[in-house]
Structure 1
Amino acid sequence: MRRSLRFALVAASLVASTAFASPTNPQNGVEYTTLSTPQPVQAVGKKVEVVEFFAYHCPACFSLEPGLAEWVKKQGDKIVLRRIHLPFQGPADPEAHLHLTLQAMGKEAEMHGKIFQAVHVQRVRLMKDEQIIDWVAKNGIDKAKFMETWNSFGVMTKLRRLPQVTTSYQATGTPTLIVDGKYQTSPGLIADKLKIQDRNQILQAHFQVLDALVAKAAATK
């Protein structure tokens, strides 16, 4: 009897958690998780830092990009977006190396969309060093300056540290977003927890969750 009652209570709690799941009122462990160790943020004042872990070859990141750009624009000066390329190929990941080099050159914003278009629309392979160096030289970046930055101490140091950074943020896939160094969410998590299959609905719910997490973080500043 007690065993049956215990199972009934567990089942009821699962139904309740699903029933109250809402992207406009996200719950820890449902639409987002809280990092076991909060990470330091670079945003100053009352601005909320949002970190996107992404990969240039990631189709979901490419799909997210237009909506993310609009969301960032809507947030205005309330947030600061920072991107980190997940090093899928380890501490010498060529795509992550490219991203860090563009950041150091002040070319990230200029080239970000172009790289996504090259990879996902033009089907250009940018998974090896030589492929990347050849592509950037043909797309408006001075090759000598690029190589100088590519091989610089600062970029190489950040590249070697990326796996450790990724582990600290508990980021295992892309796209993953971290709000205020502690709240982690992703379109995939939301689709799974809210049982949504339509891509547009997933993205809409995802941005609603981000809205709520930014408001939650801002309230503590």
Structure 2
Amino acid sequence: MQMLRRLLCTAALLTLSGVVAAAPAAPTAPKEGVQYRVLPQKMDTPAGKQVEVIEFFAYYCPHCNVFEPLLADWVKKQGDNIVFKRVHVAGGARVLPQQRLFYALDALGLVGQYHTKAFAAMHQQGARFANDEEVIDWAVKSGIDRARFVDAYNAFGTQAKARRAAAMMNEYRVDHWPMVAIDGRFITSPSMANPEGSPAQTEIEQQQVALQVMDALVEKAKAAKADKK
């Protein structure tokens, strides 16, 4: 099962070997069909100057775990340029408790406080989050009020968002993760941003290159919004 889960995550060929001082330079103008792709039909996104950025991720995914702190820093640097959202991907009955954990945290306004702790629980502390009881026990031990968490975990809205995630994966053509959608039309990921022959040598380097590609796509989306005025 663990091997299957790893295969479902983005296919990073090189394992993490440590933080590097600087990432290899990404193309100043990423190429469509190489470092990113364009959806056949643009998804609806919020109006205004801000660019919507959606990360498709899974708590069980080791690559998402590595990407999380780098992505969090990138989101902070983007500031008001973007509206950032996360979608926990679907994956059957064993993944559903993890989805509901994320959407319960989101409903309670606790993602900022507990998102990285959930990753740490799975990738450093041996949690599996394979059933409701394990998720609820972890939440309570982590300091969340049991009644509030259980209500949010079982809420119709939480279950609806988990179902909606599967539909969004189809709409955005998500076939590996972490994957990032920008402005409802551009799709990229660390593996896409680093095609064969890329100078990136470690997983973190690949992810840093992906963030540079994301920078370029956000600017591209902002320019398109400005042209519509």
Q: TM-score range by the shorter chain?
A: 0.7 to 0.9
Name the structure 2 match of 1:208. Answer: 212
Name the structure 2 match of 1:35. Answer: 39
Name the structure 1 match of 2:88. Answer: 85
Q: Alpha-carbon deviation of 1:194?
A: 4.7
- Give CA-to-partner distance per residue, 1:55-77, whole Å, 9 cap, x none: 11111111111111111111111
Q: Alpha-carbon deviation of 1:179?
A: 0.4
3-state DSSP of counterpart to 1:49:
strand
The verdict on how the C-alpha distance between 1:210 and 1:65 changes in structure 2, with shifts beyond 3 A counting, is: same
Q: Describe how 1:1-221 pairs up with structure 2 within 5 A.
A: 23-42=27-46, 44-89=47-92, 93-195=96-198, 196-221=200-225
Distance 1:194 1:38 in 2: 30
Are the aligned partners of 2:50 and 2:81 in contact in 1 as well (CA < 8 Å)? Answer: yes
Distance 1:149 1:199 in 2: 35
Are the aligned partners of 1:23 and 1:206 in contact in 2 as well (CA < 8 Å)? Answer: no
Q: Which has the higher helix share?
A: 1
TM-score by length of 1: 0.84
TM-score by length of 2: 0.81
Are the aligned partners of 1:91 and 1:163 in contact in 2 as well (CA < 8 Å)? Answer: no
Distance 1:91 1:162 in 2: 15
- Give CA-to-partner distance per residue, 1:32-85, whole Å, 9 cap, x none: 00111221124x420111100001111111111111111111111111110000
The verdict on how the C-alpha distance between 1:90 and 1:50 changes in structure 2, with shifts beyond 3 A counting, is: farther
Distance 2:90 2:42 in 1: 21
RMSD of aligned C-alpha atoms?
1.9
- Give CA-to-partner distance per residue, 1:142-188, whole Å, 9 cap, x none: 11111111221222222222211211111122100000011000001
Q: Alpha-carbon deviation of 1:92?
A: 7.2
- Structure 1: gaps of 5 or more residues: 1-21
The verdict on how the C-alpha distance between 1:57 and 1:92 changes in structure 2, with shifts beyond 3 A counting, is: closer
The alignment of Structure 1 onto Structure 2 pairs a total of residues equal to 200
The verdict on how the C-alpha distance between 1:193 and 1:182 changes in structure 2, with shifts beyond 3 A counting, is: farther
Are the aligned partners of 1:92 and 1:159 in contact in 2 as well (CA < 8 Å)? Answer: no
- Give CA-to-partner distance per residue, 1:183-221, whole Å, 9 cap, x none: 000001123345344223312211110010000000011
3-state DSSP of counterpart to 1:106:
coil
3-state DSSP of counterpart to 2:33:
coil
Are the aligned partners of 1:190 and 1:202 in contact in 2 as well (CA < 8 Å)? Answer: yes
Q: Alpha-carbon deviation of 1:91?
A: 10
